[in-house]
Amino acid sequence: MTDIQQGRPSPREIVLSLRGVSKNFGAVSALTNIDLDVHAGEVVALVGDNGAGKSTLVKILAGVHQPSSGTIKFRGDTVTLADPSAALGLGIATVFQDLALCENLDVVANIFLGKEMNPWRLDEVSMEIKAWKLLNELSARIPSVREPIASLSGGQRQTVAIVRSLLLDPKLIMLDEPTAALGVAQTAEVLDLIERVRDRGLGVIMISHNMEDVRAVADRIVVLRLGKNNGIFDPDASNQELVSAITGADNNSVSRRASRRGAQREQSQETQP
């Protein structure tokens, strides 16, 4: 059994369960009665328009914000995520969009940043060995753990950030726009990595505006609209269904265009040998 597989939840175990979670900022209601379940070995895509509440929800789960009401259960136990360290201690890791990597440090230094002496008390050689082990277990395409972050591609940087989040053996990992601003090849690399993380039994929450990326890796798609649940969909749901849930309208230029694209895709698949 490899290091990052130890203590892994059982397949299909509900790792995270939210019931009635709300968040108010003064008179502004950012989230209202959110219900959400995430299973082990599952990628849940969290989608919605700007201001739908996606980032607020992730920050609550990361311990940055406290919910105004509702219940959060993690691996069956009701929990209070008082701060980011509490979330990490439970096994909830977050990779925010800015990645928080240090450009002037190499890969191994970024993976262990802030953890060089605790809890492992590893020396440089031991950290390098462990970094390589983590990268190899995920088939990550990093040329060297001594490569400066500044010289890596966007996809490789995202890989380093994800591997760093696995260092404390989390049970749930949240990814905020992991493929934003990446090229086609780099996006494919990151999506492959997300699949490998899921295959190791972790629950994954992925925020993305790119529906093609969502369809590529998600097991379920959860739509938020104006801070509320607005539907749970399979990845093969039509573009029109998803756009309607995201925008709240079923007959606008965006949904009509999505419908046409869906019809073209189906027609193309039917004509393929």
Residue-number span of the structural domain to which 265 is assigned: 239-273
Residues 243, 192, single domain; the answer is: no
Please answer whether residues 37 and 95 qualify as being in contact, where contact means their C-beta atoms are separated by less than 8 angstroms.
Answer: no
Question: Quick one: what percent of the chain has pLDDT higher than 90?
Answer: 66
Measured in whole angstroms, how far is the alpha carbon of residue 256 from the centre of its chain? 29
Q: What is the pLDDT of residues 82-117, one digit of tens each?
A: 999 999 999 999 999 888 899 989 999 999 887 755
- CATH number for the domain spanning 205: value is 3.40.50.300
pLDDT digits (tens, 9 = 90+) for 62-80: 999 999 999 999 999 999 9
The answer to the question of residue 127 being in a domain is no
Give mean pLDDT, residues 54-60.
96
Is 99 in the same domain as 174? yes
pLDDT beyond 70 at 121: no
Q: What is the pTM of this model?
A: 0.84
Give a yes or no: residue 76 inside a domain.
yes
**pLDDT score recorded for residue 167:** 87
Whether 111 is in a domain gets the answer no
For position 78, what pLDDT does the model report? 97
Please name which of 162, 178, 160 lies closest in space to residue 170, comparing C-alpha atoms: 162
- Relative to beta strand 92-95, strand 172-176 is parallel
Quick one: average pLDDT of 40-55? 95
Helix axes 239-247, 253-271, angle to 10 degrees: 160
Rounded CA-CA distance 17/24 in Å is 20
Residue 27 has pLDDT above 80, yes or no: yes
Cα–Cα distance between 232 and 80 in angstroms, integer? 26
For residue 5, being part of any structural domain is answered with no
Same structural domain for residues 174 and 83? yes
Residue type present at position 261? R
pLDDT tens digits for range 205-234: 999 999 999 999 999 999 999 999 999 999
The pLDDT score that the predictor gives to residue 86 is: 94
What pLDDT does residue 267 have?
62
**Rounded to an integer, what distance in angstroms lies between the CA atom of residue 108 and that of residue 247?**
43
Clarify whether residues 271 and 193 are in a common domain. no
What is the pLDDT, as a whole number, of residue 261?
52
Task: Based on the fold, state whether residues 85 and 70 are members of the same structural domain.
Answer: yes
Question: Would you state the pLDDT for residue 123?
Answer: 75
Render pLDDT for 236-249 as a digit per residue (tens, 0 to 9).
998 888 989 999 87
Q: What is the pLDDT of residues 125-159, one digit of tens each?
A: 888 888 899 898 888 889 889 999 999 999 999 99
Q: Using an 8 Å Cβ cutoff, are 173 and 204 in contact?
A: yes
Report the distance separating Cα 195 and Cα 157, nearest Å. 17
CA–CA gap between residue 262 and residue 259 (Å, rounded):
5
Q: Is residue 163 part of a domain?
A: no
Residues 6+ apart with CB under 8 A from 4: 134, 137, 166, 169, 200
Q: To which residue do tokens 């970094």 refer? A: 131
CB 206 within 8 A of CB 187: no
Residue 222 gets which letter from DSSP? E
Specify whether 224 is located in the same domain as 176: yes
What confidence category does residue 266 fall into, taking pLDDT thresholds of 50, 70 and 90?
low
Q: How high does pLDDT run on average in the chain?
A: 86
